[in-house]
């Protein structure tokens, strides 16, 4: 995730439950992002979990 000139990256264990993944990410530095920016993280995580489940 890009925040201005800073690029943030985190890794959490995969889970088919998007909520669990997002809660885990919220405990990382990504959780300090403004709510509007974290909404973009939600969208990306939801897409990744959806695509992984389609395989």
9-53 pLDDT, tens digit per residue, is 899 999 999 999 999 999 999 999 899 989 999 999 999 999 998
- pLDDT tier, 5 (very low <50, low <70, confident <90, very high otherwise): confident
pLDDT score recorded for residue 3:
61
Residues 6+ apart with CB under 8 A from 3: 33, 37
Alpha carbon distance 10, 41 (integer Å): 11
């Amino acid at each position: 995730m890009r925040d201005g000139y800073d690029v943030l990256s985190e890794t959490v264990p995969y889970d088919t439950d998007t909520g669990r993944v997002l809660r885990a990410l919220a405990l990382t530095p990504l959780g300090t992002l403004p709510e509007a920016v974290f909404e973009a993280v939600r969208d990306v995580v939801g897409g990744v979990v959806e695509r992984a489940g389609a395989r």
